[in-house]
Amino acid sequence: MGKTLMGLAAGAAVLALGVGAADAQDKMKVGFVYVGPVSDHGYSYQHDQGRLAVEKELGDKVTTTFVENVPEGADAERVIEQLASSGHKLIFTTSFGFMNPTLKVAQRHPDVKFEHATGYKRAANVATYSARFYEGRTVIGQIAGKMTKSNIIGYIGSFPIPEVVSGINAFTLAMREVNPKAEVRVVWVNSWYDPGKEAEAAKALIDQGADVISLHTDSPAAIQVAQERGLYVFGQSSDMTRFGPKAHLTAIVDDWRSYYVDRVKAALDGTWKSQDTWGGFKDHMLFLAPYNPALPADIVAAAEKTRTDIMEGKRHSFQGPVKDQSGKVVIPEGKSATDEQILKMDWYVEGVQGKVPK
Amino acid sequence: MSADLALLGPILAAMLAAATPLLFAALGELVVEKSGVLNLGVEGMMLVGAVCGFAVTAQTGSSTLGFAMGAAAGAGMAALFGVLTLLLLANQVATGLALTLFGVGLSALIGQGFVGIPIPDVPELNIPGLTDLPVIGKALFGQDALVYLGLAMVPAVHWFLYGSRRGLILRAVGENHAAAHALGYKVVRIRFLAVLFGGAMSGIAGAYLSLDYTPMWAEGITAGRGWIALALVVFATWKPGRVLLGAWLFGGVTIAQLHVQGLGIDIPSQLLSMLPYLATVVVLVLISRDVTRIRLNAPASLGKIFHPDA
Amino acid sequence: MVYATPLLAVALTLVSGFVLFWTMGFDPVKALHAFFIEPVSSVRGVGELAVKATPLVLCAIGLAIGFRANVWNIGAEGQLTLGAITGGGLALAFYGDGGWWLLPLMVVAGMAGGALWAAIPAFLRIRFNASEILTSLMLNYVALHLLNYLMHGPYRDPEGFAFPESRLFEADAVMPLLIAGTRVHLGSLFALLAVAGGWLLMARTFIGFQIKVIGLTPTAAGYAGFNQKKIIWLTLLLSGALAGLAGLGEVAGPIGQLNPTISPGYGYTAIIVAFLGRLHPVGILLAGFLMALSFIGGEAAQIALGLPKAITGVFQGMLLFFLLATDVLIRYRVRFGAKSIAGRAAA
């Protein structure tokens, strides 16, 4: 068995060299690793839109490769390693579960640059990046507060991680500001993408009286449920209007395009440095999908003002006073939450039903 | 307390809908297993049924055609299984698992052009007066056609198996294929037809998900329901009525735990998510204590390879 | 025939793969090269095959022994998860206080965790006659949710920005590497030991004999006085322990920590591996490598050619179908033309 394998490997090596030699390129190779399918029309899809933007703008200088549906366990390191070993000079790993595998591979390949999304560990050749999605939550929370008649908002959560919890909180704070009687009910589906579960969660929340739905999961299932029941919903990760034209008020759309193009350019002209980027509206890392034409003009105007205020730094999603569910003031008046507080958020603000699953 | 009672109606209605794909797939597999064949490829057949049904509906606008296509696609996958296991005598367990793997990939491949496309909704029943009845109104009179069809399949399958001659022959084949063969019954053909039926039912179950439950196509939209359906056949000790109870139990607890979360009751969501599975085990234990009942229902030739000259 | 058949199956797969890739618009030679040659064309590549095959083989050995006795353990995935939870939990409990004894203790704990999880279906079957197919399958989901719960709670790294990941295991709690330049770790050695042990058990011990008889003719086994209950316990605990070891190997090996996605479905794939290997330990070893190759080859094809992941799934299915279909040539002799006489069926 050993001898055959060795012989096979030797023969294969010769073959591999023969086929590989023909692929020598001048263009820089850029790799992308996705945790889900590109076709999810949500999170991974938006990352791929970033990749396509890179191809469109810099296609004469780079070629891109992507691997989709990479599980976050032991397989991730192998895929990243394979990209690094096959000539890719810049690799984007787009899910937080890829953090440690990225660092392990980065250690072995100091000449390759890595960009890890939504993580917190860096190295000389590993940068991190994410978007301040919670800024978008503030805007839609405000709209929700004004549009709800039952004063119950349903929130479909994926996993109780700080990114989702801070989103719930930002949403609730803005909602209560315009409607102190409204409350948010959260249901966790323990998955980023499960249309069946998300639809069931939406129905359960609606049956409990919610008339506006917000979600932090990636499929358009809840949009369809809201449309069917004549209620309102906000899309997530991408514009989901076509799944519920009457129900879809707006959506938070991830936008990695300008960031990816910038970073690839930096890698090309040698100015790339490891850094942490956490960009919001003003850095073009997220935007809101077009508002539903049925939204009253004054609500749209107020939403736009909130958005521009955030963009210009006049308003912070977590500006004090912010009270937690017990009534204790966590962020005093006049102050705003620090980045670290937001990154570690694992408690709810006043107005959210239930407790954060721990 | 009255709030909880008011939720009972919506929970029942949602439960019936959630149970429908499980019901179709499990009833189909029940017939297959009663004939002595174990087809573990339910998940793969459901997915292919889902994507093909969706593709046809997206292009023709007709849900009926979509469901028909879903059934045909499921039967097609089952035919592949049938050829491998009944004609080429391959191991049934492994072939079924391979079918699932194949179905996952094939459905993703076919579905690539259909992601993100919305389709028209399947209408729900609405009888003024009856549908508005408290608690049971929506559950009994406000569902769409497939839910009622699924419920109707339970007595239909039961009648076929236990009240018709053909069903008797099928069960005989499942009990002792050598004896049935000796009596002149065409074992392979009967099993093949059963397998096709199971495939068609799985295909309809999948199409229900992509055309009705959440009218969209997404890779892996079945999310493991095929495995639950397989488990339900065992749970039901191969009796159609029990399949219905199992599907209701599983679907009902799933919906109920979402409501518990929404009400803000302080139990971690991950522990609540375990409930449908634990409930199924507990109920199985309770009903399995009668050993004779199990022995009388499990087809004795289940999974055994049939060779006429062996 | 026994050796020619797999080759025939591979040949058929290559041909249909060629056609599949060509009709989908990809260079078929390059695609097949990416699938089969690229993963084995470097030491690191072969090492990755071993890393991927290790949990598959470990689980499959245990499962196969059970299947031989007609004990249908579908719960390897859950038992693997429990092994990771118990063994990995020890690593976290002794964080900062470890020593040379930590890893061996983790291995024992991992096996115990997996065995414990398998003991539930065993107990339910023996005491309540509940089918182990259903109970072990349901427990898979329970185990997954349990892991999820722990990762968002007690197992979470306190300095980890509330990510659902545990601390990275320290050196004392990590599987030593066996081959430099690869990720091949001690777990692979365990897998080889399991192969040898499994063969010994089935081929040379009385218990192995009992297992085989119980599987083939339970009535005769009853007359011979073989204790079916004992065998049910033994096979379930053994496969649970091996699956637990596989889980521990994953988190203490290539992953190096606990997180919610420690297995992309090894427990289920192992069932395929068990049958591809015809429930024989050496066959399982080869089948494990082949399955690992099909997964890794799929990744290589995505990277080298942009071949969508969906196509690799189809290709894998085809490979399995051909392997299973050509099996008929081994078990039966194919004769053309002669029709069986119905009267002879009484034989």
Q: Which CATH number is A244's domain given?
A: 3.40.50.2300
**Domain boundary, last residue among A86, A116, A131:** A131
One domain for residues A191 and A325:
yes
Q: How far is C11 from chain A (nearest CA, A)?
A: 16
Q: Residue A108 — pLDDT band, cuts 50, 70, 90?
A: very high
Let me know whether A112 and A143 are in one domain.
Answer: no
SS3 A252: strand
Q: What pLDDT score does A18 carry?
A: 41
Q: Tens digits of per-residue pLDDT, A179-238?
A: 999 999 999 998 888 899 999 999 999 999 999 999 999 888 999 999 989 999 999 888
Residues A309-335 have a mean pLDDT of 90
Question: Is A354 a domain residue?
Answer: no
**Any CB–CB contact under 8 A between A78 and chain C?**
yes
Closest by CA position to A162, among listed A187, A132, A185: A132
For residues A41 and A7, is the Cβ–Cβ distance under 8 A?
Answer: no
* C233 vs B308, more confident: C233
| Phi and psi, residue A117, nearest 5° | -85, 140
The pLDDT of residue B296 is above 60? no
- In chain C, the percentage of residues whose pLDDT exceeds 70 is 95
Domain presence at residue B310? no
Q: How many Å apart are CA B50 and CA B107, to the nearest integer?
A: 8
Q: Which residues form the domain of A294? A: 133-253+287-343
Contact (Cβ atoms closer than 8 angstroms) between residue B50 and residue B209: yes
User: What does the pLDDT look like over B59-105, one tens digit per residue?
Assistant: 998 889 999 999 999 999 999 999 999 998 888 888 998 899 899 99
Interface test with C, best of A75, A130, A168, A193 (most C CBs within 10 A): A75
| Mean pLDDT, rounded, of chain B | 88
Q: For residue A44, tell me if it sits in a domain.
A: yes
A290 touches chain B (CB under 8 A): no
**CB nearest to C311's CB, from B88, B109, B227:** B109
Interface residue A190 vs chain B (CB under 8 A): yes
Query: Would A279 be classed as within a structural domain?
Result: no
Of A243 and C6, the one with more pLDDT: A243
Q: Which of C24, C125, C141, C149 to mutate to test the interface with B (most CBs of B within 10 A)?
A: C141
Q: Residue A276 domain-assigned? A: no
Residue B65 lies in a domain: yes
User: pLDDT tens digit string along C127-171?
Assistant: 888 888 889 999 999 999 999 999 988 999 988 888 889 999 999
Say yes or no: A30 and A162 in one domain.
no
Listed residue (A105, A80, A51, B110) closest to C303, CA to CA: A80
* Number of domains making up chain A: 2
A254-292 pLDDT, tens per residue?
999 999 999 999 999 999 999 999 999 999 999 999 999
Q: What's the gap in Å between the CA of C340 and the closest CA on chain B?
A: 7
Beta carbons of B84 and C145 less than 8 Å apart: no
Mark whether A177 and A215 lie in a shared domain: yes
Whether residue A161 and residue C33 make contact (CB cut-off 8 A), yes or no, is: no
- Per-residue pLDDT tens digits for B141-167: 778 888 999 999 999 999 999 999 999
pLDDT value at residue B291: 62
Per-residue confidence band for C342, with pLDDT thresholds at 50, 70 and 90:
very low
Cβ–Cβ contact A219 with B under 8 A: yes
Q: What is the mean pLDDT of residues C69-90?
A: 94
Our CA dihedral for A288, A290, A295, A299, rounded to 10 degrees, sits at 40
How many angstroms separate the Cα of B117 from the Cα of each of A252, A320, B54, B67, B73?
Answer: 20, 43, 10, 17, 20
Q: Is C288 helix (H, G, I), strand (E, B) or coil?
A: helix
Tell me which of A108, A131, A154 is where a domain ends: A131
Residue B287 lies in a domain: yes
Tell me, what's the pLDDT at B290?
66
Contacts of A65 in chain C (CB under 8 A): 303, 306
Residues A258 and A50: beta-carbon distance below 8 Å: no
Q: Which two three-digit tokens encode residue A334?
A: 């006049």
Prediction pTM value: 0.88
Q: Is B219 on the interface with A (CB under 8 A)?
A: yes
Q: What domain range includes position B213? A: 2-116+123-297
- The pLDDT, as a whole number, for residue A89 is 95
Domain end point (choices A105, A131, A157): A131
ipTM confidence: 0.88
| pLDDT tens profile B117-142 | 888 777 776 677 677 777 777 777 77
In a mutational test of the A interface, the residue from C152, C175, C188, C295 whose CB has the highest number of chain A CBs within 10 Å is C152
CATH classification at residue B162: 1.10.3470
CA of B94 vs chain C CAs: smallest distance (Å): 5
pLDDT in tens, C300-341: 988 888 888 888 888 888 888 898 888 777 777 766 665 554
User: Is A272 inside a domain boundary?
Assistant: no
Burial of C113: CB neighbours in 10 Å, binned 0-12, 13-18, 19+: buried
Give domain status of residue A264, yes or no. no
Same domain as A97, residue A140 = no
Give the mean pLDDT of A324-337: 90
Cβ-Cβ contacts under 8 Å for A318 (sequence gap 6 or more): A134, A166, A169, A170, A173, A331, A336, A337, A341, A342
Do A146 and A87 share a domain, yes or no?
no
* Residue B305 in domain: no
Q: Are residues A301 and A334 in the same domain?
A: yes
Q: Kindly determine whether residue C165 and residue A100, on different chains, have CB atoms separated by under 8 Å.
A: yes
On whether any CB of chain C is under 8 Å from the CB of B289, the answer is yes
Question: What is the tens place of the pLDDT at every residue in B26-35?
Answer: 999 999 999 9
Answer yes or no: is B304 within a domain: no
Token pair, residue C18, equals 């060629």
Shared domain check, A299 and A217 = yes
Pick the residue of B42, B177, B270 with the most C CBs within 10 A to test the interface with C by mutation: B270
In this complex, the chains that touch A, judged by 3 or more CB pairs closer than 8 A, are B, C
Strand partners, A276: A128
Q: Examine the domain organization and report whether A293 and A193 are in the same domain.
A: yes
* Entry field: residues in chain A: 358
Q: Which two tokens stand for residue A324?
A: 């937690």
Judged against a pLDDT cut of 80, whether residue A41 lies above it is answered with: no
Do A18 and A145 have their domain in common? Answer: no
Give the residue on C whose Cα is nearest the Cα of A340. Answer: C161
Does residue B303 form part of some domain? no
State how far residue A56 is from chain C, nearest Cα, in angstroms. 17
Residues of B in contact with C335 (CB under 8 A): none
What per-residue confidence (pLDDT) applies to C205?
Answer: 92
Q: What is the mean pLDDT of residues A154-163?
A: 92
Does A177 score more than 90 pLDDT? yes
Element (H, E) at A322: strand A322-323
* Mean pLDDT, rounded, for C21-32: 89
Q: Are A84 and A96 in contact (CB under 8 A)?
A: no
In this structure, the answer to whether residues A80 and A208 fall within a common structural domain is no
Residue C345: CB atoms within 10 Å: 15
CA-CA distances (angstroms) from residue A46 to A88, A236, A279?
21, 11, 16
pLDDT digits (tens, 9 = 90+) for A129-144: 999 999 999 999 999 9
Positive or negative CA dihedral for A169, A172, A173, A174? positive
Mean pLDDT of all residues in A17-32: 65
- Tell me if A8 is assigned to some domain: yes
pLDDT at residue A19, rounded to an integer: 43
CA end-to-end span of chain B: 65
State the pLDDT at residue C339: 59
User: What is the least distance, in Å, from the CA of B26 to any CA of chain C?
Assistant: 13
* Domains in chain B, number: 1
Distance from CA of A199 to the nearest CA of B (A): 7
For residue B265, is it within any domain?
yes
Res. A357: pLDDT tops 90: no
Instruction: Tell whether the torsion through CA atoms of B98, B103, B104 and B110 is positive or negative.
Output: positive
| φ, ψ for residue A316, nearest 5 deg | -115, 140
Judged by DSSP in three states, A278 sits in strand
**Same-domain check for residues A190 and A331:** yes
Residue A127, pLDDT score: 96
% chain C with pLDDT above 90: 54
Facing B221 at nearest CB: one of A187, A195, A201: A195
